Amino acid sequence: MKHIWWKALCILLLVYTLLMTFYVGLNPGLIAVSSSTVEPGYNEFTLVGYNTTFESNKESIQVFLRSDSSFICTEILEIEDEDKVKFGFISPANLPTPSLDIYCNNNNDGTLFLANALFVEGYTAGPLENSCEVKVEKDAQTAFGYPFQPRIFESIRNLMLHVPMWFTMFVILFISFVSSIRYLSKPKIEWDLRAETSVNVGLVFAILGLITGSIWARFAWGAWWVNDPQLNGALVTTLIYVGYVVLRAGINDDMKRARVAAVFNIFAYVILFILLMILPRFSEGLHPGKGGNPGFNTYDLNSSLRAVFYPAVLGWILLGYWIYHLRLRMNRVRHKLYYDE
C-alpha cells in the first residue's frame, strides 16, 4: 500500500497523456499554393490551409506576399471553402529576393505564414516599388491546440510517445549504471540483480524509442531510416546493451559474471551519454535542436504542448520504474528459489 500513490499517479498521467495526445487538434496553418512558380505579369493562385476557418466574405481575409522586408498586395478572388482561398497579383518588375513568403490575415485564425511559398522566374534584383503596409495582427492559435508545423503535421503527437520513452530509458539505465558502481565497490548480489533488471527494462524502452522514431522519420523525412547522428547513435547504444545481455548469458560463474557485467555496464552508459547527448550536438543532423535545426523548446513547444508533454515524460518514467520494480521482485524470488535448491 505504501507505493500506491505513485502508481495511481502513473496511471492518471498516462491516461491523461493518451487522451490528450489524440484528442487535441492542431492550430491552423498554411500548407501550400497551387503552383510554386511566379511568371511575369498577372498570376492567380489557390492558397491551401489546414484546420483553417476562412469566412465566405472576401473582406474578412487578406493575403500578402513578402520579399525580404517588403510586402506585395494581392486581390482576393474567391473563398472556395474554409481552407482554400484564391488570390491574384501582378508580379513586380523588381524584387529584393527571388522567393516570396505568404502572409494570410483572417478574423478567425489570426495571421498565418508560409515561408518560401513562391519562386519568381527571371526576377530582377532591386527594391520593390509601391510596397504595401501590412499589420501582422496575431499568431494563429486556438484556445488549446498543438503548434502547426508544415513538415510533420499530425505526427507532432508522437512527441508525447517517442521522446518520453527515451527519457525513461535514460532514467532506468542510470539506475543500472549506479547499481554496477555499487556492486564493484561492495559486491552484493542485490546490486547485480538491480543492474541486470534495469538493463532489461531499459532495453524495452530503447526498442520502443527506435520503433516510434522510425515511424516518425517516415512521416517527417520520407524514409524509415536516415543517416542522422542521433538515430545511428541510438541504434548503436541499443546494440551495446544487447551485448550486455549476451555477455551475461555467456558466463556461468556467478561472481565473475556479475563483476564483468558491471564493468561492461559502466562503459555502456558512458558511451550512451556520448552518442546521444554529446556527439549529435556537434554534428549535422535532422533532429530538432541539432545541426542548426530549431528545437522543440524554442518555438514548437507551446503552452498547450507543454501541458501534455511534461506529464507524459513523468508518466512514462513512472511506468518504466513500475515495470523495473516488478521485475526486480521477480528476479529476487527467482534467485532465492535457485539458491535454496
Per residue in 91-135, pLDDT (tens digit) is 888 888 888 999 888 888 888 888 888 998 877 787 777 777 766
Q: Which three cell numbers stand for residue 103?
A: 502572409
> How far apart are alpha carbons 78 and 223 in whole angstroms?
37
Flag whether pLDDT at 341 surpasses 60: no
Instruction: Establish how many alpha carbons lie within 13 A of residue 215's alpha carbon, considering only the half-sphere containing its beta carbon.
Output: 14
On whether the CB atoms of residues 68 and 112 are closer than 8 A, the answer is no
pLDDT at 229: 81
On whether the CB atoms of residues 180 and 45 are closer than 8 A, the answer is no
Domain boundaries, the chain: 29-125, 153-340
On whether the CB atoms of residues 310 and 297 are closer than 8 A, the answer is no
On whether the CB atoms of residues 288 and 298 are closer than 8 A, the answer is no
Flag whether pLDDT at 298 surpasses 60: no
> How far apart are alpha carbons 17 and 316 in whole angstroms?
10
Q: Any idea what DSSP says for residue 130?
A: S
Does the domain spanning 29-125 belong to CATH 2.60.40.10? yes
On whether the CB atoms of residues 329 and 187 are closer than 8 A, the answer is no
Q: Which three cell numbers stand for residue 117?
A: 511559398
pLDDT at 138: 56
Among residues 313, 322, 321, 326, the alpha carbon closest in space to that of 14 is found at 313
pLDDT at 80: 87
What does pTM read for this prediction? 0.84
On whether the CB atoms of residues 204 and 153 are closer than 8 A, the answer is no
pLDDT at 269: 94
Among residues 134, 101, 130, the alpha carbon closest in space to that of 118 is found at 101
pLDDT at 2: 65
